[in-house]
Structure 1
Amino acid sequence: MHTSRTTLALAALGAAAVTLAGCAGTSGDTESASSDAASETTTLTVYTSEPQEKIDEIVAAFGEDHPNVDVEVFRAGTGDLTTRVATERTAGEIQADVFLAADAATFEDYAAEGLLVEYTPADADALLTDVVDPEGYYVGTRIIPTVIAYNTSVIDAPPESWQELADPAYADQLVMPNPDVSGAAAYNAAVWSTTPELGDEWLAALAENNPVIADSNGPTSQAIATGAQPVGVVVDYLVRELAAQGSPIDVSYPSEGVPYVSQPAGIFADTDNEEAAKAFVDFLVSERGQQLAVEQSYLPVRSDVGTPEGAPTMDEIAILSPDLETVQNAQDAAVETFRDLFL
């Protein structure tokens, strides 16, 4: 897939060159061969739905410990990424080494189709159990709950439950991300659809309030912060970031519980750079990688790095977390229902 070789292979070639040169008795050639091997660069391709600024910070931090790995990033919404992967499969080979995107259901599908390398990170014992695939094909890298957000300059008493969003009082005031673009939104549609106290009946009632459907969570949060649509459904870290920047926005964690995605990472079986890919996944869930996640306003997947200022811990949040197989089986139909009702 890629013309460059893995770091491990380069190291092995370098060692072989040193040995051969030593047998010939030319120390100058030995030093030259070692230097050439050490300077070789592995190119690692990452497909991700991470915001560009955040993935740039991740790549820079990873590069501090792995200067010989050149990380190339293709950034898009999860829906666009999965379309790209499908197109590349049809053409013969997936061009990414690592996939870092929103929802575990996508990774379950890829694992079932034999597209992922079986790999459990070295630090897996330090992670929340729920984010580690028991079969070892992917691992969650940050906790991203979806919440109700509201503009504090417009809304005095924010809704405290998903049910309240269907109240006619919120007609023409709501905004939500599009599940055709956002992996988190697609996952949320499946969770809502399979939650007994919500379900398709609630979605239909919510649609009666004529919410604006934004392309993704970013524009959704901006619409709430500006007051264009003063109440909305959005991932919580964006609310924290905008509030820290001075926007009149706050978060409400619905009483029924919140769905969350864990932004999993997995390694494609087509990779020619498996060792570098493993190192990148290891970094994402390492103590340093998770400290960076907290600095980026995410809830971490390990308990030894704290949480963002003002953010709750996982045990302080009511979670909507149905069986993953249930969500996986329901997601396509739930997204189609969402399209019919809202788009």
Structure 2
Amino acid sequence: MKHALLLTAGLLFIASAAQAQDVPAGYPGTYSKLVADAKAEGSLRIYTNLSEDNIAPVIKAFNAVYPNIKVGSLEMGPSEAFSRYRAELGTGIASADLLISNTIVDWMSAVKDGLLADYTSPEREKLPKWSYPEPGLYTFSTDPMVTIYNKITVPAELQVDTMAAYFANISSRPDVFAGKVGTYDGRYAFGGALNYALVQKHGEKAWQWLEKAGPSIKPGGGAGGMIERTLSGEFSSAYFVSAPVVFSKVADGLGDIIGWNFPKDGTVVFPRGMGITAKATHPAAAKVFLDFLLSERGQAAIAAGKLTPYRPGFVAQGDLAYSLDEVAKAVGGKENLIIIDYDRKMIDGNAAFSARWAAAFKM
């Protein structure tokens, strides 16, 4: 009997210790129940515009801690992640447990329509307040926009690192830049948010830049296309290009042709949102995964996926790997970051803003 009691006590101690290992430091003791529920669910499903290169290191790091929770990720367009989830609601089809996407309009609509679970992560108080702007809405990564140049066709003295000097050069050096500058189309959601942020920072001065230089610029296409056209020489330069995409190209050996910089008078940063769906089939697994992403280990995995972590004090490891703190240091301080926020005015005033932007670009 004595041996049986000792054996039972030992087993209980081992089980208790195992549960304790599942609870990160600083988390409530009840978190072990959430982890147990997540393991019982065994999986979760993500709809996202992240590529395999972006998300694979994150899933690998998560499974190193939680090997019994399978993570499935479906890549699609930023708005498609929301439209597909909406279409599947109420159909009985297994849909997304977690959405990760960088589209301000769709996140605001999702919040308004109650599509997100109101979950308070144990990591939340360690994060900047702007990173969780609405109940259940968090930030996955903060992707800075850079200016790129073809180093062969653009003289070194014209590869400037401020937007003020950049737009001045486009206007004053048509021999280099006329018809050879790329950017996003400001009439659509992503490009519109970037331009809105620029105007919010610089006011009427930004409109003057755009109106003077706009006719020499060729908006349209995504980051990959802008980079390819700059590499080929079709473009001399492009601005508002996603830094993680640029860095992956430079890392592939194209740094001899492509030069880049963070604008020191305002680097626009696009937050990539994430949220657990209100009707998630695997809510516990989704919560554990989200908490992991917000932790230091998760932020390191996000950096490994070539994106920009933002947890205060975090330092990314490796060449061409930046945390948001490091970007801020590179541009002379946080005041020179333009972090796009979930501004209702941007959405409500979109028609008038788009019309003025189109007029500036003669479109």
TM-score range, shorter chain: 0.7 to 0.9
C-alpha RMSD of matched pairs (Å): 3.3
8 A contact 1:79–1:180 mirrored in 2 = no
Q: What residue number does 1:162 align with?
A: 163
Q: Could you say what secondary structure the match of 1:320 adopts?
A: strand
Which of 237, 246, 249 is the aligned partner of 1:242? 249
Q: Could you say what secondary structure the match of 2:338 adopts?
A: coil
Task: Provide, for residues 233-274 of structure 1, a one-character-per-residue CA deviation record: whole Å limited to 9, x for no partner.
Answer: 201222222222221222222343122112121011121211
- 1:79 maps to amino acid: S
Which of 337, 347, 359 is the aligned partner of 1:319? 337
8 A contact 2:39–2:69 mirrored in 1 = no
Q: In 2, distance between residues paired with 1:227 and 1:121?
A: 47
Q: In 2, distance between residues paired with 1:93 and 1:159?
A: 52
Give the superposition deviation at 1:40.
6.3
Counting aligned pairs with the same residue, the percent is 19
Structure 2 residue 97 is the aligned partner of structure 1 residue 78: no
8 A contact 1:174–1:209 mirrored in 2 = yes
Q: What residue number does 1:111 align with?
A: 111
Give the superposition deviation at 1:115.
0.9
Residues 272-287 of structure 1: pairs in structure 2 closer than 5 A? 272-287=281-296
Using the size of structure 2 for normalisation, the TM-score is 0.71
Give the superposition deviation at 1:89.
5.5
Structure 2 residue 230 is the aligned partner of structure 1 residue 211: no
- 2:338 maps to amino acid: L
Q: In 2, distance between residues paired with 1:342 and 1:84?
A: 35
Q: In 1, distance between residues paired with 2:274 and 2:185?
A: 22
Structure 2: gaps spanning 5 or more residues: 1-36
Give the superposition deviation at 1:322.
6.5
Give the superposition deviation at 1:73.
1.7
Q: What residue number does 1:187 align with?
A: 193
Equivalent pairs, count: 304
8 A contact 1:105–1:327 mirrored in 2 = no
Structure 2 residue 137 is the aligned partner of structure 1 residue 138: yes
Q: Given the superposition, is the C-alpha separation of residues 204 and 83 from structure 1 closer, same or farther in structure 2, using an over 3 Å criterion? A: farther
Q: Could you say what secondary structure the match of 2:44 adopts?
A: strand
Give the superposition deviation at 1:152.
1.9
Give the superposition deviation at 1:323.
5.8
Q: Given the superposition, is the C-alpha separation of residues 199 and 94 from structure 1 closer, same or farther in structure 2, using an over 3 Å criterion? A: farther
Residues 1-343 of structure 1: pairs in structure 2 closer than 5 A? 42-88=42-88, 95-133=95-133, 135-156=134-155, 157-163=158-164, 164-165=166-167, 166-167=170-171, 169=174, 170-178=177-185, 184-194=190-200, 195-198=202-205, 202-214=209-221, 216-233=222-239, 234-247=241-254, 248-307=257-316, 309=319, 311=322, 312-317=326-331, 318-321=336-339, 324-325=342-343, 326-331=345-350, 334=353, 341=361
Q: Could you say what secondary structure the match of 2:337 adopts?
A: coil
Give the superposition deviation at 1:231.
0.6
Q: In 2, distance between residues paired with 1:242 and 1:222?
A: 10
Q: In 2, distance between residues paired with 1:256 and 1:198?
A: 13
8 A contact 1:101–1:264 mirrored in 2 = yes
